[in-house]
Amino acid sequence: MRFKILALFAAAALIAGCETAPDETAASGGSGGAQATVSAQPSAAAATAQRVGPAPGSKEDFVVNVGDRVFFGFDKFDVTADAQAVLKKQAAWLQKYPNVGIIVQGHCDERGTREYNLALGERRANAVKDYLSALGIARTRVRTISFGKERPVALGHDEAAWAQNRRGVTTLAAD
């Protein structure tokens, strides 16, 4: 039994040891030979490996470098000066990536009825959509949804938690 297991491991090691990585700098010619080429420009793979942070145009890039949420006052849906700064960065990012669609989620704190908060969340999402539209983003690229008080990010029952839950969140559409 041990001999079979050892033979299996030896065969796996032999197969793994025989694999060779392709030479990315070699250019194959029609005669079967290969000549190495040296490039003064770094390859795309090297540039990707050297890049720190999220890939440009990715969901992570949007969240980290732009910001995906804006906050609202109690029982309000007007876009504040702080929210305007974030939405201007979102609009600039969206203009840079014109094929990306977004979904704006409207959220509320736990106070009020479910129905009232769904309507308020919808007004908040539409306020974000309207502001982005005023900045030149096509309305067809922006969908809205209200979650009301159903998806809190802060679970406390105080003003600090409620302030975090009164928000509009912009997510990239999956298409």
- Per-residue pLDDT of the chain (175 residues), as tens digits, is 555 654 555 555 545 555 555 454 444 444 444 444 444 455 555 555 566 789 999 999 999 999 999 999 999 999 999 999 999 999 999 999 999 999 999 999 999 999 999 999 999 999 999 999 999 999 999 999 999 999 999 999 999 999 999 999 999 997 5
On whether residue 98 sits in a domain, the answer given is yes
Residue 143 belongs to a domain with what CATH number? Answer: 3.30.1330.60
On whether residue 47 sits in a domain, the answer given is no
The total number of structural domains in the chain stands at 1
- Whole domain around residue 146: which residue ranges? 59-172
Q: Return left, alpha or beta for 58; rule: phi > 0 is left, psi -120 to 50 is alpha, else beta.
A: beta
On whether residue 120 sits in a domain, the answer given is yes
Q: How many CB atoms lie within 10 A of CB 73?
A: 10
On whether residue 84 sits in a domain, the answer given is yes
On whether residue 1 sits in a domain, the answer given is no
On whether residue 28 sits in a domain, the answer given is no
